[in-house]
Structure 1
Amino acid sequence: MLQWIRSILYIMQATIAMPVVGLLYAPWAMFSKRGAYAACKAYSAWCMWTARWLIGLRCEVRGEVPQGAVLVPAKHQSFLDIMMIFHALPRAKFIMKREILWTPVIGQYAKRMQMIAVDRGKRGKAITKMMADVKAGELEPGQIVIYSQGTRVAPGISVPYKVGTAVLYDQLGQTCVPVATNAGYFWPRRGLYRRPGVAVVEFLAPIEPGLSKDAFMKRLEAEVETASDALLAEAGWTHADAKN
């Protein structure tokens, strides 16, 4: 019961903090993209810091965090892994659903940081447009983060990896740095309960450009799923948890 109360208090304060941080940084963010990034990093840091002392959830980043222009295909289990990856990367550019652009605070800052919005059902067209923007220099170099399964996936659930990641890998010709996580065990897709423990995002060994699309997708899925399963097991997750 105590952890439930702590979880609800945590969610309440994090919800209030979002517009507060957004308003505080708005003057800087309006005139500088650096201000928009600073605001979102500050909010992510606040959520991770308060999670540690309020709900007993510590956030840990493992592996070598890429600094240059790379493709970052990540396992996506909850909003927590978004914040952890964003906070860790120097200049993350997320590929996300277009509907997010219309959400309060988050949408306005996403536009300011030139996040890459994708129409559902039109992913191929969106990737083509994104590639054109990159080549034309309209987007500053950064780490392009894509969720290869296209959505949040709860631990223990199998969802196929989408071909969009392979298209980016092939066309960009950049090194790929996959990311595994166990965040969904502590911060689920749905519900209010937040579990104490250590949530991890792990940057895995780079995959150099040059593989065929099929070979790349097989390697990516195998490495991300294996590493994520290992992190879940380390956290104490079992398949019985997937049924709850």
Structure 2
Amino acid sequence: MSNRASPVPGRLTVWQYVQNALYYLHVAVATVVIGLLGLPALLRDGRAGANRVATRWIGYMLWAARLHLGVSCEVRGTPPTEDCIIAAKHQCFLDILVIAHAVPRRAFIMKREVMRVPIMGWYAWKTGCIPIDRTRGRDAMRAISGEINRRLAGEGLGQLIIYPEGTRTKPGERRPYKHGVSTIRAATGLPVVPVAVNTGLFWPRKGWGIRPGRAVVEFLPVLPPEVPAEGFVPRLEAEVETHSDRLMAEAGFRGETVAVA
């Protein structure tokens, strides 16, 4: 299947919109079924069981994306298996799925409210996701760093997935990278693995109007530990954005890069 995308894509057909709707209906039902069937593993095996179920669930959603939408995914580079921070470009829901499926012990920093949602929230807690109270500002980051260090001293953290831009971006759009990842790196000493993507060429930010093609997620080499704190975020941004631009160009994107404050 081609992974090329037109810089100015044409309008989707009615059938493609129907397929979009069928996909979301399919995965909503599958989420309930897989989540409930996986409860014995969740209760019996804790985090290990929750991760097995999560891997099955994410893999099913990626398979359904191929079935309904004609979207396949390629993973390049070497996904990490040790405790680390994954700092990724974030364009859409698809890159969340691909990155999480590629690593064995995925964890996210999530809004506390999301972790209270039935089924999904149960698994989020058990797989090691860390709740955040965004109203606490810098205190929230200190609390997160403390929780990470507590886990590192115990059963381990896994692969903590962070999106330094703080939100999804359209292809060709750049937002300033936030310093949270640098703060956590300094407080924990964890290695940081940058990740580049071109997923937004096929899967829009809002999740509708998905187009067929082959999306790519690339795990880049670990950033050297000797990169000083003051230069870390610019170095991370340069790595992720340069390689994401390359992946999008490979897929046929010819749009201009636009900085968004």
1:236 corresponding residue in structure 2:
252
Identity of aligned residues (%): 41
Amino acid corresponding to residue 176 of structure 1 in structure 2: V
Q: Within 1, Cα distance between the matches of 2:93 and 2:87?
A: 16
Q: CA deviation at 1:24?
A: 0.7
Counterpart secondary structure, 2:38: helix
Q: Within 1, Cα distance between the matches of 2:82 and 2:145?
A: 18
Q: CA deviation at 1:138?
A: 5.0
1:87 aligns with 2:101: yes
Amino acid corresponding to residue 74 of structure 1 in structure 2: A
Q: Within 2, Cα distance between the matches of 1:139 and 1:149?
A: 29
Q: CA deviation at 1:166?
A: 0.8
Q: Within 1, Cα distance between the matches of 2:137 and 2:30?
A: 33
Q: Within 2, Cα distance between the matches of 1:147 and 1:11?
A: 24
How do residues 21-170 of structure 1 correspond to structure 2 at under 5 angstroms? 21-31=34-44, 32-136=46-150, 137-138=153-154, 140-170=156-186
Q: CA deviation at 1:88?
A: 0.5
Residue number among 156, 181, 184 corresponding to 2:197 in the alignment: 181
Residues 75-130 of structure 1, C-alpha deviation per residue, up to 9 Å, x if partnerless?
A: 11111111111110111221222232133322121112221122224342222223
The change in CA–CA distance for 1:94 and 1:51 in structure 2 (over 3 A counts) is same
The change in CA–CA distance for 1:94 and 1:20 in structure 2 (over 3 A counts) is same
Counterpart secondary structure, 2:196: strand
Residues 169-188 of structure 1, C-alpha deviation per residue, up to 9 Å, x if partnerless?
A: 22222221101111122111
Q: CA deviation at 1:211?
A: 1.9
Q: Within 1, Cα distance between the matches of 2:131 and 2:202?
A: 28
Q: Within 2, Cα distance between the matches of 1:16 and 1:149?
A: 31
Q: Within 2, Cα distance between the matches of 1:50 and 1:191?
A: 15
Asked whether the equivalents of residues 123 and 164 of structure 1 are also in contact (C-alpha less than 8 Å), the reply is: no
Amino acid corresponding to residue 43 of structure 1 in structure 2: W
The change in CA–CA distance for 1:139 and 1:118 in structure 2 (over 3 A counts) is farther
Residues 134-165 of structure 1, C-alpha deviation per residue, up to 9 Å, x if partnerless?
A: 33335623112111111222222221110111
Q: Within 2, Cα distance between the matches of 1:194 and 1:56?
A: 9
Q: Within 2, Cα distance between the matches of 1:96 and 1:157?
A: 24
Asked whether the equivalents of residues 186 and 229 of structure 2 are also in contact (C-alpha less than 8 Å), the reply is: yes
Q: Within 2, Cα distance between the matches of 1:122 and 1:139?
A: 27
Asked whether the equivalents of residues 76 and 147 of structure 1 are also in contact (C-alpha less than 8 Å), the reply is: yes
Q: CA deviation at 1:40?
A: 1.3
Counterpart secondary structure, 1:178: strand
Segments of structure 2 that go 5 or more residues without pairing to the other structure are 1-12
Residues 14-68 of structure 1, C-alpha deviation per residue, up to 9 Å, x if partnerless?
A: 1211111111101211232222111111111011112123211111111011111
Asked whether the equivalents of residues 149 and 188 of structure 2 are also in contact (C-alpha less than 8 Å), the reply is: no
Q: TM-score, normalised to structure 2's length? A: 0.85
The change in CA–CA distance for 1:234 and 1:121 in structure 2 (over 3 A counts) is farther
2:20 corresponding residue in structure 1:
7
Counterpart secondary structure, 2:222: coil
2:188 corresponding residue in structure 1:
172
1:196 aligns with 2:212: yes
Q: Within 2, Cα distance between the matches of 1:131 and 1:169?
A: 9
Q: Within 1, Cα distance between the matches of 2:79 and 2:48?
A: 20
Q: TM-score, normalised to structure 1's length? A: 0.91
